[in-house]
Amino acid sequence: MAEAGAGSPHGGDAAPPGPPEEQELSRRLRRLYPAVNQDETPLPRSWSPKDKYNYIGLSQGNLRVHYKGHGKNHKDAASVRATHPIPAACGIYYFEVKIVSKGRDGYMGIGLSAQGVNMNRLPGWDKHSYGYHGDDGHSFCSSGTGQPYGPTFTTGDVIGCCVNLINNTCFYTKNGHSLGIAFTDLPSNLYPTVGLQTPGEIVDANFGQQPFVFDIEDYMREWRAKIQSTIKRFPIGDRLGEWQAMLQNMVSSYLVHHGYCSTATAFARVTDTTIQEEQTSIKNRQRIQKLVLAGRVGEAIEATQQLYPGLLEHNPNLLFMLKCRQFVEMVNGTDSEVRCFSARSPRSQDSYPGSPSLSPRHGSTNSHLHSTGADSPTCSNGVMSTKSKQSHSKYPALSSSSSSSSSSSPSSVNYSESNSTDSTKSQQHSSTSNQETSDSEMEMEAEHYPNGVLENSSTRIMNGTYKHEEILQTDESSMDSCPQRQLCGGNHAATERMIQFGRELQILSEQLCREYGKNTMHKKMLQDAFSLLAYSDPWNCPVGQQLDPIQREPVCAALNSAILESQNLPKQPPLMLALGQASECLRLMARVGLGSCSFARVDDYLH
């Protein structure tokens, strides 16, 4: 028997909770029909107890059908439809029916019908109804008169019905062998249907509960190859040069958007494309993203305010999102507002397993991101300027405490990938040396970041999405010494600072409400964040998913997009917009019944 759908890219999806049989069915259906969104268009899984004639009996999970009528003549025929119609996004759909008993005369029909077709008839006798009958082997296409089609079938036979939603045809199989095309020009939204007419007739359906007898996957592979060949043969003609230039610009902007500075520079040099953003600005965005992904949101906010003055002031929704995330990271023990209360030793700074071993450098003078006086360089549009300027926040209630206590707060966002800090050397370096170090350490595509993957951690960046498990290596010794995670790293002073920050966050929420009106999103973010304090173990509570590092990614993406938009650059890379448009086109194709969408999935071209 052929196992259904092996090797599909969705084969590793976790099965939903439920009995093992239901889990196996869900896995098999996902593998067979990966393009189907089952929330929008559920697949048939059983016969419908509501959409049948009363001479039909159902049992065994509504998969077994038996006849319970008189069976005197054709007026006693009875049919049943499946629970759902066949989604067009299947492309190729298949189900099988096993003849448990042919009963008295074997007047059985297997096929398809539209919603509303009379169920007091065998499939194929009425308009928009199609069937293959066992007593004579004829096919019936919306007519009471059949056409010779295949062999008869009886007890023990397995009859399959395959609907090709690409060319709108249907063929049947018997015991694993195709019988050829039975119907053409089929309409959309047909339901699997079976009909019986004489006593003793019993059939079992297989909608994917078990491996199919017929190798439907081989047939699917043939059609997938046809569709992909059609795509590859799409005529470009004399416009090849234009297409190549456009694609190169899209790739270049994608690399710039996500901060792949070295790769973007090398790509621009090879393809002779122009990078629209200054390299220093790209690196600064990169630094800010790394801080957010490390859970150091307070430092990311401060860096953003210094490098991009006015950005957060003019984006109060973004500022509020960042501040709520900062509160969550304070609970986590990763934000510098609470980490500064911990001991300075590298071993003791991680107060719970899983927190990044990321020590801010104290006493260093990074000319890129920290201003220490009136003569310090300031930033405009993400690029350092020597012009002196002070930034005034419109929302002073949440100004970072780190700026008023330099002895206990990070004075730079500059840090090394190896988590080692030599403060003596840091003090001896000149500002020029610090800037060079910063450029080399923060460069995401330096030798430690081949293809966007950090060798020393499990952080991955694929297709513009951060696959974030840990930002940097975790201190193994701290994990051994502190087996249980604690609120704010278990530091009392840090907990008090977190509570004070929460009060300030509440004040900011009220201020924004007065200025801009009620905002339900703000209310929910605040409630979710504050709810963490209601549990003794926030990491294992109904709202504990907020503490998962992966929740930093949308915040990081929103901040990065806002920075780009402030520089009159696309907030989303054109490449991602093009992919999104292609995916949406495929969804629209599925909705209007164009089955070829199932074998033209965007993911197939990204791996």
The answer on pLDDT for 117 being more than 70 is yes
Tell me if 598 sits within 8 A of 92, measured CB to CB. Answer: yes
Distance CA 574, CA 250 (A): 6
Tell me if 474 sits within 8 A of 353, measured CB to CB. Answer: yes
Mean pLDDT within 103-110: 95
* Confidence band, pLDDT 50/70/90 cuts, at residue 339: confident
Residue at token pair 């992909």: 228
65-79, 149-163, 253-267: which range is least confident on average?
253-267
| Predicted pLDDT at 163 | 97
Nearest Cα neighbor of 307 from 335, 326, 288 is 288
164-173, 349-358, 547-556: which range is least confident on average?
349-358
The answer on pLDDT for 47 being more than 60 is yes
- The beta strands (E) that lie in 421-573 are given as 460-462, 465-467
| Predicted pLDDT at 358 | 30
Mean pLDDT within 174-194: 96
* Confidence band, pLDDT 50/70/90 cuts, at residue 605: confident
pLDDT in tens, 192-206: 999 999 999 999 999
Record the tokens describing residue 526, joined without a space.
């605040």
The answer on pLDDT for 306 being more than 70 is yes
Tell me if 268 sits within 8 A of 292, measured CB to CB. Answer: no
| Predicted pLDDT at 243 | 81
The answer on pLDDT for 247 being more than 60 is yes
Task: Kindly list the distances between the CA atom of residue 353 and the CA atoms of 332, 363, 421, 477, in Å, as whole numbers in the listed order.
Answer: 10, 27, 21, 10
Pairwise pLDDT comparison (76 vs 259), residue with the higher score: 76
* Confidence band, pLDDT 50/70/90 cuts, at residue 124: very high
Mean pLDDT within 523-532: 93
Pairwise pLDDT comparison (81 vs 588), residue with the higher score: 81
Record the tokens describing residue 545, joined without a space.
């998913």
| Exposure of 557 in the CB half-sphere (CA atoms within 13 A) | 15
The answer on pLDDT for 418 being more than 70 is no
Distance CA 331, CA 541 (A): 13
Record the tokens describing residue 196, joined without a space.
């019986």
Mean pLDDT within 132-161: 95
Record the tokens describing residue 294, joined without a space.
């490390």
The answer on pLDDT for 593 being more than 60 is yes
Under 8 Å CB-to-CB from 229, ≥6 apart: which residues? none
Rg (CA), the chain: 32
Residue type, 469: E
Q: What is the dihedral of CA 225, 229, 232, 234, to 10 degrees?
A: -140
* Confidence band, pLDDT 50/70/90 cuts, at residue 261: confident
Record the tokens describing residue 98, joined without a space.
């096993």
| Predicted pLDDT at 230 | 87
320-324, 397-401, 570-574: which range is least confident on average?
397-401
The answer on pLDDT for 35 being more than 80 is yes
Task: Kindly list the distances between the CA atom of residue 60 and the CA atoms of 49, 201, 417, in Å, as whole numbers in the listed order.
Answer: 12, 15, 59
Helix (H, G, I), strand (E, B) or coil at 40: coil
Task: Kindly list the distances between the CA atom of residue 421 and the CA atoms of 283, 346, 358, 407, in Å, as whole numbers in the listed order.
Answer: 21, 9, 10, 17
**pLDDT > 70 fraction of the chain, expressed in percent and rounded:** 73
| Predicted pLDDT at 394 | 52
Tell me the β-bridge partners of 174. Answer: 159, 177
* Confidence band, pLDDT 50/70/90 cuts, at residue 16: low
The answer on pLDDT for 220 being more than 80 is yes
Nearest Cα neighbor of 38 from 64, 59, 10 is 10
Distance CA 179, CA 171 (A): 7
16-20, 277-281, 341-345, 366-370: which range is least confident on average?
366-370
Helix (H, G, I), strand (E, B) or coil at 11: coil
124: alpha, beta or left? (left if phi > 0; alpha if psi -120 to 50) = left
Please provide the distance, in angstroms rounded to a whole number, between the alpha carbons at the two ends of the chain: 30
**What number of residues does the chain have?**
607
**pLDDT > 90 fraction of the chain, expressed in percent and rounded:** 48
The answer on pLDDT for 442 being more than 50 is no
Q: What angle do CA 557, 560, 562 make, to 5 degrees?
A: 110
Pairwise pLDDT comparison (1 vs 144), residue with the higher score: 144
* Confidence band, pLDDT 50/70/90 cuts, at residue 491: confident
pTM to 2 decimal places: 0.59
Under 8 Å CB-to-CB from 288, ≥6 apart: which residues? 300, 303, 304, 307, 413, 559, 560, 563
Sheet holding 92-102, edge to edge: 56-59, 64-67, 201-206, 92-102, 158-164, 169-174, 177-183
Task: Give the max Cα distance, the chain.
Answer: 102
The answer on pLDDT for 404 being more than 50 is no
Mean pLDDT within 443-466: 36
Other residues' Cβ atoms within 10 Å of the Cβ of residue 396: 11
Burial of 171 (0-12, 13-18, 19+ CB in 10 A): buried
| Predicted pLDDT at 572 | 86
Tell me the β-bridge partners of 96. Answer: 160, 206
231-235, 297-301, 327-331: which range is least confident on average?
231-235
Mean per-residue pLDDT over the chain, rounded: 77
Nearest Cα neighbor of 183 from 162, 213, 152 is 162
The answer on pLDDT for 277 being more than 90 is no
Sign of CA dihedral 436, 369, 326, 405: positive
Under 8 Å CB-to-CB from 310, ≥6 apart: which residues? none
Pairwise pLDDT comparison (428 vs 393), residue with the higher score: 393
Tell me if 128 sits within 8 A of 117, measured CB to CB. Answer: yes
Residue type, 436: E
Under 8 Å CB-to-CB from 346, ≥6 apart: which residues? 357, 359, 419, 421, 475
